[in-house]
A and B are shown apart, each in its own frame.
Chain A
Amino acid sequence: MTPADLTFQLDVAHWGWSIAAFLFFVGIAGMGSVAYAFVRRTAVIATIFVSLVVGLLLVVSHLGRWWNLPRTLFLMVRDLELNFGSWMLIGITVLGIHLVLALVALVAHLPFLTQRLPWLAWTERVDASKAFLGAFAFVGFFATVYSGFLITQAVGIPLWNNPLIPVLWVISGSIAAIAVLELLYVVGAVDAKVSTFGVRLGMALDGMKLLAVLGFLHVAASYGSAGARYGATLMTSGDLAWMTWAMVVGVGILVPLAIGAYTVLREKNKALLTVSALSALVGVFFLRATVLLAGTFEPLVL
């Protein structure tokens, strides 16, 4: 049976690279917010904020009718038609809150602002509070979870209707956040302690991610519906296999694992750490891209 026999529909969903990038940045921002609870550095919150903004710009640019978004939001609120059954609306809300919180934390880290505009000084107090850090971490975590459920809820694409996706997104988002911390360490924006902790945690997460990716593929390819199986086949042995094996597993997991092992057993090397962090980020991005691109509609004729 060829893929053409199986799908009979538009092979791949309309969501592609731009949504993958959106999910990538949301992951960095989301799990970065969790890290921020422990590493309250300017560079970290700046990365979170920029990632969020870039992610949101990407998702708005993907809107076919972006010019109608303000009107849409206005009508939605005016008519109180708030469909919280939709993960996308939940996501819009969560990302909105996340952006506000990130802005608060960012402002707290910008002394030239708070000094010139004393009425913003409250941000520093808030940013220092455990309640805020907890809320910020929770919203960030939830934003990452949302970015998984967003595609899980896309009923048309059976490959995505898989509970492992939010889990994968959280794990890989964490890896991305750690990779960002490592890079910040390399450029001297955070201290070595953070980096050392990050390397060990990252290796654990890499192991979990490898398991989760293989589990996701195994379940979809073995027990999924025809559409899910086809999507998984695309990822394991089809047109997208190079992304899965080379980019997601090879570059994204095995390279950081190897470098992590070297770092733990032998020595810490900034150049290697840079390679490891960039590899991890590439892997995280391609994980989202390959899952999105492999999304296939269920065949209607069998």
Chain B
Amino acid sequence: MARVNEMKGSEPTRRLAHVWDESLCIACGACVMACTMTNQPEMMHRKEKGWDSVASNIRRIDGVNATGKPSVLLVQCQHCDDAPCVANCPFGAVYRDDDGLVRLDAEQCAGCSYCVTSCPYNVRWFHPDSKLPMKCMGEGCLDLVAQGESPACVQACPAMARDFGDLNDPASSVSLTLRTKRSRRLLEGSGTEPKYFVVEGGL
């Protein structure tokens, strides 16, 4: 099977990554809803109980930055190169695919939630029907990516604050952005090698 996790030695051919530009995001929520509609339309009118919010793979976190200025952070699966959820899944259900995306094989998931507690970014939620741990990317966006399209959140963003592409391709828009703009990754010190990049705004 091609989908075996990286410990079995297969290296992804692409490293698809999300870029979110905090200097452009206006926190409009279009991506949050686009995610629900694309990936779990059956949850459109149902609450996600764990987060007491909408059932989206994107979470909004309000806070303040180092200078005390209120800030917003959109968090989703970071598709870590060294993902603890992949390393910890006892059943090999969580794996990294050829595109470098962290995925879940539902057939092999028993719902132990070790991936939930293993993720420093706390991005998973439980689907009330399938009891699967849900996260970015959902099936709808995987279909889109398979067709060469951007995920729903990228397409929905009216402020050009989101992008998605291959880090291995130096000509991709994400590579260009990361080459030319200051960016950071979340919990850099956790050793997860996340592939979700936050382009930084001013303070």
Contact = CB atoms under 8 A, between A and B. Distances in A.
Check whether chain A touches chain B (CB < 8 angstroms).
yes
Interface of A: 5, 8-10, 13-15, 62-66, 68-69, 71-73, 75-76, 79, 81-83, 85-89, 91-92, 151, 153-157, 160, 295, 297-302
Contacts of A63: 110-112
A301 B116 contact: no
Given A83-B7, A154-B118, A302 B93 contact: no
Contact of B64 (A72, A154, A301): A301
Contacts of B130: 65
A14 B113 CA distance: 8
Interface in B80-127: 84, 87-93, 107-114, 116-122, 126
B88 A153 contact: yes
A71 B113 CA distance: 17
A154 B88 contact: yes
Interface stretch (B24-32, B65-73, B147-155, B160-168): B65-73
A73 B111 CA distance: 13
B91 A155 contact: no
Contact of A64 (B65, B87, B113, B119): B113
Describe B's contact surface by its main secondary structure. loop
A157 B191 CA distance: 14
B87 A72 contact: no
B54 interface: no
Which of B73, B116, B133, B190 counts the most chain A CB atoms within 10 A? B116
B137 to A, nearest CB: 19
Interface of B: 1, 4-5, 7-8, 50-51, 61-66, 71, 73, 75, 84, 87-93, 107-114, 116-122, 126, 130-133, 186-187, 190, 192
22 contacts: A8-B63, A9-B61, A9-B122, A14-B50, A14-B126, A63-B110, A63-B112, A65-B109, A66-B110, A72-B109, A76-B91, A83-B91, A85-B87, A87-B88, A88-B88, A153-B88, A155-B118, A155-B192, A297-B121, A298-B120, A298-B190, A302-B63
A296 to B, nearest CB: 10
A79 B113 contact: no
Contacts of A297: 120-122
Contacts, number: 142
B65 A301 contact: yes
A87 B108 CA distance: 17
Chain B CB count within 10 A is highest, among A66, A71, A83, A85, for A83
Contact of B7 (A65, A85, A153): A85
A294 to B, nearest CB: 13
A79 B5 CA distance: 12
Contact of B73 (A13, A65, A82, A301): A301
A91 to B, nearest CB: 8
A274 to B, nearest CB: 36
Q: Of residues B50, B89, B132, which shows the largest number of chain A Cβ atoms within 10 Å of its Cβ?
A: B89
Contact of B61 (A151, A155, A300): A300
A156 to B, nearest CB: 5
Given A65-B131, A79-B1, A300 B114 contact: no
B131 to A, nearest CB: 3
Given A8-B61, A65-B131, A72 B91 contact: yes
Nearest to A85: B87
Contact of B63 (A5, A87, A92, A160): A5
Given A64-B111, A72-B109, A89 B90 contact: yes
B42 to A, nearest CB: 17
Contacts of B118: 153-156
Given A14-B113, A86-B87, 8 more contacts: A9-B61, A14-B116, A68-B109, A83-B90, A88-B88, A153-B118, A155-B119, A157-B117
